[in-house]
Structure 1
């Protein structure tokens, strides 16, 4: 623990995917669809799906280990773990299982649920612990196994989602590299995208009835979610840039939640950003919810495209409905 107000730096990234992939052509054997139908409407060609015996804990832990390995730290140096997920192995929380799996014996750990905005919300949450001097080294993980909750007979949703995990290590420093952020929520639009709990009545004794149920499959109004994203995401990015005193042209990379290529194109057009500065890897991963931004970030870091000092604008948006943006400078 440190005792002075600090800035935030982003010093390492990591990601992990399960082995099994499901291509559009393979999916067309399961539901009435085609590679052409999926790819032209979404930009997705394949997605990773977890098999029986594969867990969110294992996937998140591997991404975390890879992120820590990219730094000069060890798991014992981590003070806090924030796991952004909507598909935990345990509804009481999965972050503590990840903490044990990576050997981060000193770290406190908790889950954060904000669906596809989860990683951005997690980064902003972690930054507050660092800025106030509470913790020095924080691990933020975005991980989801959405294949657990997909209706494989619903071609409007099952073609979209995949499984994966990504992570970053954030550290206290003298100069703050989280340059700005903005977070929003609108619960009146919850019905546009949700994974709802359905209960059945369970009579216990005279006058007392309780409930027992489960969560149903993902449901989505794709048209409304698209409208929401193309209007609200540019707005929240522009506000974030304003807070930082920067313009869109100052961004080296734009990393949006990898939901739909059409959304990425529309947001980039609104911000007047060239396509070569917009990160897109959804073709091979699909929509991995809270994992999509850190997976894309890690891929661009490890291929040398993101360099120290680059300014990265990222925005998550989805169920809740929630949306948010953060502007950061990569590296120490």
Structure 2
């Protein structure tokens, strides 16, 4: 048999911010609906319902002295140190995010230079052939960057690619919007490397879709729900149509995941873990149920879908690489990966975009 070129994850890292924000933090907030009407439901009741739906009991925020690029750098540094890989050997650094660097108390974004260039600078990489650029693709950004990196490697253009997902959503959320309780900060990084082998390994197949006719503005930037909020003068906040996103995700994510599994020549029974973007626990559970039903399977294996949303919240592009790093480093109880396991990565988010890839450990 002749050898083929595959992309293998040879290193991972993450940075979880130090500021712990529990649900009780929101007890004294004033919440308004999208029409600008004050919500009279007691906050304790709002928070309890929020936790029941999303599973979130706390989230992590970056301290004021850290930028998004700092988080990305710390995750990248962790990946390099834990893998013992020479930073000068990287052919690409690709950073997924949505808002660039955002200072505390302002939603003004700074994307010049791009975050990847800032990370390369912070890592003090001298190699001019380490190409650094960013990708904006909503929450599925890190997975899309992994798909791009795989193309570079399989084409022979690259030997090693670092892919980072980093975000500080806490700085772009409206304090008067109940959805603000979902968002958090964090960063995750992986290093993909070319592997020549006869047996299929690494990234095996992927699938992606984008829907914009009716779905483009399910997630958008807009002013606060509180019409006279002082912050409306200079800021736009992340806004979402939660119900529409939920319906879109459970309708289409299962099909995209199945497409990737089918392209890999596998069956759902072959999959050991599903690492999915985490914004809503009940939504992810519904996606899993519908995915298994596409294969006429009613029973979902226990622990197939590791969840960290309970303590992390939704940190967008960072959720999946952080999840992978925690499992790879045995930091997540009852979840392990072993050589030969097939795992699925999947995400859904602004655009609206959905993507997935199948990976053999």
Structure 1 length normalisation: TM-score? Answer: 0.89
Alignment-derived partner of residue 104 in structure 1: 125
**Residue 280 (structure 1) shift:** 0.6
Alignment of 1:53 with 2:72, yes or no, is no
Structure-2 separation of matches of 1:110 and 1:214: 28
Structure-1 separation of matches of 2:325 and 2:193: 17
Instruction: Report 1:252-331 matches (<5 A).
Output: 252-272=272-292, 273-303=300-330, 305-330=336-361
Contact 1:144-1:290 within 8 A present in 2 as well: yes
- Helix, strand or coil for the counterpart of 2:237? coil
**Residue 215 (structure 1) shift:** 5.7
User: Deviation string for 1:292-321 (max 9, x for gaps)?
Assistant: 100111111111712333221011101011
Alignment-derived partner of residue 160 in structure 1: 182
Contact 2:255-2:291 within 8 A present in 1 as well: no
Contact 2:96-2:166 within 8 A present in 1 as well: yes
- Helix, strand or coil for the counterpart of 1:293? helix
**Residue 44 (structure 1) shift:** 0.6
Structure-2 separation of matches of 1:30 and 1:306: 42
Distance 1:27 1:65, change over 3 A: same
Alignment of 1:114 with 2:145, yes or no, is no
- Helix, strand or coil for the counterpart of 1:115? coil
Structure-2 separation of matches of 1:136 and 1:154: 45
- Helix, strand or coil for the counterpart of 1:83? strand
**Residue 196 (structure 1) shift:** 5.5
**Residue 173 (structure 1) shift:** 0.7
Instruction: Report 1:1-332 matches (<5 A).
Output: 6-31=5-30, 33-34=43-44, 35-89=47-101, 90-92=110-112, 93-106=114-127, 107-155=130-178, 157-175=179-197, 176-188=201-213, 189-195=215-221, 216-272=236-292, 273-303=300-330, 305-330=336-361
**Residue 218 (structure 1) shift:** 0.8
Distance 1:275 1:190, change over 3 A: farther
Mean alpha-carbon deviation: is it higher for 96-105 or for 116-125?
Answer: 96-105
- Helix, strand or coil for the counterpart of 1:127? helix
Structure-1 separation of matches of 2:222 and 2:156: 38
**Residue 191 (structure 1) shift:** 1.5
Contact 1:180-1:244 within 8 A present in 2 as well: yes
Structure 2 length normalisation: TM-score? Answer: 0.82
- Helix, strand or coil for the counterpart of 1:119? helix
Contact 2:4-2:196 within 8 A present in 1 as well: no
Alignment-derived partner of residue 208 in structure 1: none
Q: Unpaired segments of 5 or more residues in structure 2?
A: 32-42, 102-109, 224-232, 293-299
Mean alpha-carbon deviation: is it higher for 269-278 or for 45-54?
Answer: 269-278
Alignment-derived partner of residue 205 in structure 1: none
Contact 1:253-1:279 within 8 A present in 2 as well: yes
Distance 1:252 1:218, change over 3 A: same
Alignment-derived partner of residue 203 in structure 1: none
- Helix, strand or coil for the counterpart of 1:97? helix
**Residue 31 (structure 1) shift:** 4.2
Structure-2 separation of matches of 1:137 and 1:103: 17
Mean alpha-carbon deviation: is it higher for 297-306 or for 140-149?
Answer: 297-306
- Helix, strand or coil for the counterpart of 1:278? coil
Mean alpha-carbon deviation: is it higher for 106-115 or for 298-307?
Answer: 298-307
